[in-house]
Amino acid sequence: MVSGGTLGGGARVTEPLGAVPDDVLKLAQRVLAQACDKDLSIATAESCTGGLLASLLTDVEGASHAFERGYVVYSKQAKCELLGIAPEVVERCNAVTREVAEAMASGALAGSHADIALGITGFAGPGAPDDEPGLVHLACATRAGHRAHRECHFGDVGRGEVRSGALRVALEMMGDGLRVSDPPTP
């Protein structure tokens, strides 16, 4: 199947993943270098990026050991089952909110041996009539107690651009979290 080809049920691939921008690749290298220097490990919980952040973090030769694990939790059910988010939180707040992004980061941290976790949830493209294309919530949590949230409005710029922008922000947030985290004590 090629770009724009039709899948079963009328679904179409409208924007296959393109090349990762150079600045994003350099950010990933920097984040992994920070993690390695401090002997810290990373976990991710991704929805709208579909595992792209985890993939990027395992692509860097010689540093991918800093990546502990990743969760791809695209559906509400997966967010609840794999990250321990209470279903009523997802239903009450909607899946694309600060509360859910923070719960995703906390759930990834709790369900792993990682020292820092990043949660991403958003609308990479058009969704339901009330969904804002390009709205992404990101949250970072560390074992040292650092918590951060960013709400991004990338706009209706296409799935690829939204996902690249989300990767950039996620890596910046992880870099900030790693700067304030101390190495584990033996």
Q: What is the pLDDT of residue 16?
A: 57
Name the pTM for this structure. 0.90
Tell me which residue range forms the domain holding 77: 48-179
Low-confidence ranges of the chain (pLDDT < 50): 1-3
Q: What is the pLDDT of residue 17?
A: 61
- Bridging pattern class, strands 147-153 and 116-122: unpaired
Q: What is the pLDDT of residue 14?
A: 57
Residue 110 lies in a domain: yes
Query: Which percentage of the chain shows pLDDT scores above 70?
Result: 90
Which residues are within 8 A (CB) of 42 and not within 5 positions of it... i.e. 6 or more apart?
31, 32, 35, 57, 66, 67, 68, 114, 115, 116, 117, 118, 174
Q: What is the pLDDT of residue 8?
A: 55
Q: What is the pLDDT of residue 2?
A: 42
Total domains in the fold of the chain: 1
Residue 143 lies in a domain: yes
Residue 35 lies in a domain: no
Residue 138 lies in a domain: yes
Q: Please report how the helices 159-179 and 22-38 are oriented relative to each other, as an axis angle in degrees rounded to 10.
A: 30
CATH value at residue 169: 3.90.950.20
Residue 21 lies in a domain: no
Residue 144 lies in a domain: yes
Q: What is the pLDDT of residue 3?
A: 45
Residue 105 lies in a domain: yes
Residue 84 lies in a domain: yes
